[in-house]
Amino acid sequence: MKVLVIGSGGREHALVWKLRQSPQVSQLYCSPGNGGISAEAECLPSDSRDVASLLALAHKIHPDLTVVGPEVPLQLGVVDEFQRRGFRIFGPTAAAAQLECSKGFAKEFMQRHRIPTPQYVICASMDEIYEALEHFHAPVVVKADGLAAGKGVVICETRDEAATAAGDMLTGRMLGEAGSQVVIEECLSGDEISFLVFSDGERVAPLIAAQDHKRIGDGDTGPNTGGMGAYSSPGLLDEEMCSWLVQHIAQPVVTAMKAEGSEYKGVLYCGLMMTARGPMVLEFNCRFGDPETQPILMRLESDLVEAMEAVIDGRISEGAFRWSEESSACVVMASKGYPESYETGKQISGIEEAERLPGVKVFHAGTSMRDGVYYTSGGRVLGVTARAPELSEAVRRAYEAVSRIKFEGAYYRKDIASRELKNN
């Protein structure tokens, strides 16, 4: 079968890598792809922010299955338009994708259906912001309502700081249209967990959990990013907690979405804070996380195509996946200056040497290739990922691989999974 992956980042490279392992796949395309993906799939040009461009590509190559990587095409209704034209596509409709595309919608949805989530107020003016902040203790979280590439969340140490951040979002200075509304939310303490499930519109099948590292600096300091690394290990969530999350969060969400007329098919990412009051939903994503996809798919031992086909056909089951009992870790190598301004076009060396290490795979995020040489083309450049019997060994291998890769201004966190390793 012919498979098309939409997107160009590290998540899409991981999807391409895993889909390529399916015996069902005879031809694999990615659009627009990146330098590393081009070694594993045929990269075809398109504008992933233009549904007409993606439809034109589909009519040209006639894929048997299309997999949507990023969130923007989902918001624009790529699934709806592909389905209307008879193309099989993995991902939620635009109506269902509101769970990610509008934080205000998601918070009100959770309140309606008693899904555990932090206390919040949705604000559309500075007067509303000042009034809302009177009811919160610092620190407080300010979130842009719309899509912001993982950068629309600011943890503010004072209420004055929160008012400034919220005002910058509302006026468009920080995030443009994404901040036309803001959510003021209580700041919780605990461990963040990324819990993903596949849904066929009625039932859910859980994937293994992962933990992301969103902030730019070691020790979870500095501004939020799209993600600076992630890991997955068998001990991250026990079976009892996984079952609780399915019964009290994932399944109720899918059931309620169908009841409200927006059947949810695809992968549902539940961003959780494990608090003393129990798990709380911080956010939903309507696609695979990045960089969580990299360590998660490194542990997947069953056929990803089969699971995606089951979602589309409405026959997902608890036994949809087989997982390795080993652990995996991903370290993101970024351009100097990210998540603010950064330079591109820096030559990259050492990737082949890094991938000679046992259990190591380098997933490309922001790279291009010219004359057989890789160059940086984005803020997050590479997701250096390793799998090993123990988490400590997976982390050690990932950092050893990182040490072999060079480009001017390369930056990475040095504490991925360190808290988990310290606790154990």
**136-150 pLDDT, tens digit each:** 999 999 999 988 766
Where do you find CATH 3.30.470.20 in the chain?
A: 191-320
> Quick one: DSSP state of residue 149?
T
Residue 422 CA to chain centroid, in angstroms?
Answer: 26
CATH code of the region 327-423: 3.90.600.10
Q: Side chain identity at 125, as an amino acid letter?
A: S
| Main-chain phi, psi angles of 385, to 5 degrees | -125, 140
Percent of the chain's residues with pLDDT above 90: 91
Q: Render pLDDT for 212-255 as a digit per residue (tens, 0 to 9).
A: 999 999 999 998 899 999 999 998 999 999 999 999 999 999 99
Could you write out the DSSP letters of every residue in 136-156?
A: -PSSEEEEESS--TT--EEEE
List of residues 6+ apart from 151 with CB closer than 8 A: 175, 223, 224, 225, 226, 339
Residue 51's pLDDT is: 97
pLDDT at 407 over 60: yes
Where, residue-wise, is CATH 3.40.50.20 in the chain? 2-90
| Tens-place pLDDT, residues 379-401 | 999 999 999 999 999 999 999 99
Interval 366-378 mean pLDDT? 97
Q: What is the mean pLDDT of the chain?
A: 95
In words, the CATH class of domain 2-90 is: alpha beta
Q: Quote the pLDDT of residue 423.
A: 78
Peptide bond into 339 cis (omega under 30): yes
Lowest mean pLDDT among 15-19, 140-144, 180-184, 199-203: 180-184
Judged against a pLDDT cut of 60, whether residue 300 lies above it is answered with yes
Summarize the confidence of residues 348-369 as an average pLDDT: 98
Residues 6+ apart with CB under 8 A from 235: 424
Q: Which of 4, 6, 8, 118 is nearest to 377 (CA)?
A: 8
Q: Does the pLDDT of residue 90 top 60, yes or no?
A: yes
| Closest to 212 in 3D by CA, of 289, 317, 116 | 289
Distance between CA atoms of 15 and 10, rounded to whole angstroms? Answer: 9
Q: Are 252 and 240 in contact (CB under 8 A)?
A: no
Task: Please list the residues that pair with 191 across neighbouring strands.
Answer: 274
CATH 3.90.600.10 location in the chain: 327-423
Choices 1.10.10.10, 3.30.413.10, 3.40.50.150, 3.30.1490.20: CATH for 119-186: 3.30.1490.20
3-state secondary structure of 183: strand
Residue 374 has pLDDT above 70, yes or no: yes
Q: Which residues pair with 2 in a beta bridge?
A: 27
Average pLDDT over residues 114-137: 95
CATH 3.30.1490.20 residue spans of the chain: 119-186
Contact predicate 65/82, CB 8 Å:
no
Is the domain covering 191-320 a CATH 3.30.470.20 domain? yes
**How many C-beta atoms lie closer than 10 Å to residue 415's C-beta?**
17
Residue 174 has pLDDT above 60, yes or no: no
Binned at pLDDT 50, 70 and 90, residue 203 comes out as very high
